Structure 1
């Protein structure tokens, strides 16, 4: 439910702001989101006992000159409606929409050995051919039994397991005999 409400706020911001303003807004939202990780501030934002105006004066108003004007106005509206708790969801939705507009996504690779930049670029090239999107890959671990590639925002997941290939090959040979 919260995601649907946050999507409406994100859509409104995207309709009135330019691409550069959206990037600046996303950076500001990430900074606010980081500050909301502090226990006291998170409790204030989540508390139904604190009014929207008090939340606004504590969380958003001190940032008046530092935030893009359209984002500031949106946050003011969100605080009036008691929706400041949606800031992390709003940031995620805005991030996804910016990636979608630029057609650039990030993905992870897990392999049983370290892959070179050249190999990562080859995998990214194959993913671009398959999905039509620019994909930036980074290797996160050197464990496992093969290769695992995931681009969460595109819904792509690829897994190649050496033990699975070996088992399938042995099964095929046994059935052939």
Structure 2
């Protein structure tokens, strides 16, 4: 539900700001969303004892260095409509929107064996060409028996499991006999 509400705010924000400003707003909201990982901050924002004016003061003080009227207005709207808790969803939605706009994505490669940097570069450039985007990949050693590539924002998940390939080879040989 939060994501749907956040999308409406993002859509309205995109129509009223340019791409550069939207990038700056995304950075500010990403930093603001980090505060929501702190349990004390969440307690303050959810507390009935803290007035909306005090919550607004806290949030405006946090974004003051950005010196952006668009950000201040959005914060005021969120507080007025009691939607402070969607700030992390807003930040994530803005990040995804910025990735789609710039066609720049990041993904993860999982494997139980180390993968050479050249192979990672080749995977990245191959996917970039295939999807007409700039895709950067990060390697994470995992207990996955094979290789799994995941670019979440594009909805791509490719995996090659050694055990699955072996079973398919055995099936193919059995059918051939």
Could you tell me how far apart the structure 2 residues matched to 1:61 and 1:7 are?
22
Could you tell me how far apart the structure 1 residues matched to 2:171 and 2:128 are?
34
Deviation string for 1:145-164 (max 9, x for gaps)?
21100000000000101111
CA drift of 1:112 comes to 2.9
Large movers: runs of 4+ above 6 Å: none
Could you tell me how far apart the structure 1 residues matched to 2:161 and 2:139 are?
17
Give the structure-1-normalised TM-score.
0.90
Q: What residue in structure 1 maps to residue 122 of structure 2?
A: 122
Tell whether 2:143 aligns with 1:143. Answer: yes
Cα 1:119/1:64, change in 2 over 3 Å: closer
* RMSD (Å), alpha carbons: 1.7
- Provide the secondary structure at the position in 2 that maps to 1:147: strand
- Kept in 1, the 8 Å contact 2:28–2:63? The answer is no
CA drift of 1:21 comes to 1.8
CA drift of 1:31 comes to 1.8
Q: What residue in structure 1 maps to residue 39 of structure 2?
A: 39
- Kept in 1, the 8 Å contact 2:26–2:95? The answer is yes
Tell whether 2:59 aligns with 1:87. Answer: no
Could you tell me how far apart the structure 2 residues matched to 1:121 and 1:64 are?
37
Deviation string for 1:34-54 (max 9, x for gaps)?
222222220222245644323
- Kept in 1, the 8 Å contact 2:32–2:62? The answer is no
User: Structure 1: where are the runs of 5+ without partners?
Assistant: none
Q: What residue in structure 2 maps to residue 163 of structure 1?
A: 163
- Kept in 2, the 8 Å contact 1:109–1:138? The answer is yes
Deviation string for 1:19-76 (max 9, x for gaps)?
222222122112212222222220222245644323212x223235313221111111
Q: What residue in structure 2 maps to residue 63 of structure 1?
A: 62
- Kept in 1, the 8 Å contact 2:6–2:90? The answer is yes
- Kept in 2, the 8 Å contact 1:111–1:142? The answer is yes
Could you tell me how far apart the structure 2 residues matched to 1:98 and 1:14 are?
10
- Kept in 1, the 8 Å contact 2:124–2:135? The answer is yes
User: Structure 2: where are the runs of 5+ without partners?
Assistant: none
- Provide the secondary structure at the position in 2 that maps to 1:61: helix
Could you tell me how far apart the structure 2 residues matched to 1:115 and 1:50 are?
51
- Kept in 2, the 8 Å contact 1:111–1:145? The answer is yes
